[in-house]
Amino acid sequence: MTSRGGPRAAGTDGSDFKHREKVASHYQMSASLKSEVRKLNFVHLLIWLLVAAQVTVSHFNLVSHDIVSAPYQWEYPYLLSFLPLFSSSVSLPKNNISYLVISMISSGLFSVAPLIYGSMEMFPVAQLLYRHGKAYRFIFGFSAVTVMYLVMVVAVQVHAWQIYYSKKLLDSWFNTTQEKKKK
């Protein structure tokens, strides 16, 4: 390689640069999947902060239970969903496969399982609300069961997409690792 003003390499007319400007497809795939996982991690963090705020405010009696109700039982184990969020965030900068696998497994245990349990725990209260119009817990004047079901719907979608994109990212990294081992 020479400088811009220097002599050109022998045997080239200067138009053979296009192949060098292309990025390998698995690197493009990895970068786009990492971006998606980061966005989902951010939304997961927001959901986690909402649940943590409700648990903290209720636990320390910072406001009346008429304003923010006592948390449901599923919210306490859901607070452990910070572990898959952390391991996912740690795995992204250096393409660490083991942390991403830990994140996927713990996401099922600490994120999705409490949400499934919570949907079953709150179902009788939701049934009472929608059949008879009676709510006993409130969050800022809204029925707590309605608010928490809305949070759960968003959380289930976020966690499902997190697991999906993490699996695709894991496949991308694993294929790259296998190609390097073959060489």
The pLDDT tens digits of the residues spanning 66-78 come to 888 889 999 999 9
The per-residue pLDDT for range 16-57, each reduced to its tens digit, is 666 555 556 667 888 899 999 999 999 999 999 999 999 999
**How far apart (Å, rounded) are the C-alpha atoms in residues 110 and 117?**
11
pLDDT number for residue 86: 97
Span 145-163, pLDDT tens digits:
999 999 999 999 999 999 9
pLDDT recorded at residue 16 = 61
Please report which confidence band the pLDDT of residue 133 belongs to, taking 50, 70 and 90 as the band edges.
Answer: confident
| Alpha-carbon gap, residue 60 to 123, rounded angstroms | 27
With cut-offs at 50, 70 and 90, classify the pLDDT of residue 8.
Answer: low
DSSP string, 48-78: HHHHHHHHHHHHTT-S-TTTBPPPPTTHHHH
